[in-house]
Amino acid sequence: MSANEVGTKLVELCRQGDFRGALEACYAEDIVSVEAQDMSGEGRETRGLDKVREKTARWEATNEVHSCEVGGPYPHDDRFAVTFDLDVTPSAGPMAGNRFRMQEVGVYTVRDGKVAREEFFYSMG
């Protein structure tokens, strides 16, 4: 699959709120996932599909997502960008109980038909 085909699949699943399905369908075993900030206290970089699955499960367990608008994919060579507009209430951490909107951009690098790297662009607090 081309980068844009991978992006189309990823966006389709994210629009359904199926973030775990997106991992299983689109991600390489050696995925590297990089946050803009250290949100969890466990570092900004997560390596390997198992660890990214854990990160996703942890995020889902501690955030109630009221809506998530997803834009894209926007391709550029072997990469594509996706925009996220989240309406969310965290149940843990410094923002617990506070409903807020957050926009971010993900930039994904595709290798051999799978997402090998994802980088999230945002600013919090």
- Contact residues: a copy of itself, CB under 8 A: 4, 34, 36, 71-77, 79-81, 83, 103-105, 107, 119-123
Q: Where are the beta strands (DSSP E) in the chain?
A: 27-34, 45-47, 63-76, 79-90, 100-111, 114-121
- Smallest distance from a copy of itself to CB 97, Å: 25
Give me the least distance between CB of 109 and a copy of itself, in Å please.
Answer: 12
Q: Are 12 and 21 in contact (CB under 8 A)?
A: no
Cβ proximity to a copy of itself, 21 vs 102, nearer residue = 102
Place of tokens 């889902």: 60
- Of 123, 5, 103, 108, give the one whose Cα is nearest residue 52: 108
CB closer to a copy of itself out of 25 and 81: 81
Of residues 45 and 50, the one with the C-beta less far from a copy of itself: 45
* Shortest reach from residue 4's CB to a copy of itself, in Å: 7
Whether the CB-CB separation of 82 and 72 falls below 8 Å is answered with yes
Q: Which is nearer to a copy of itself, 42 or 50 (CB)?
A: 42
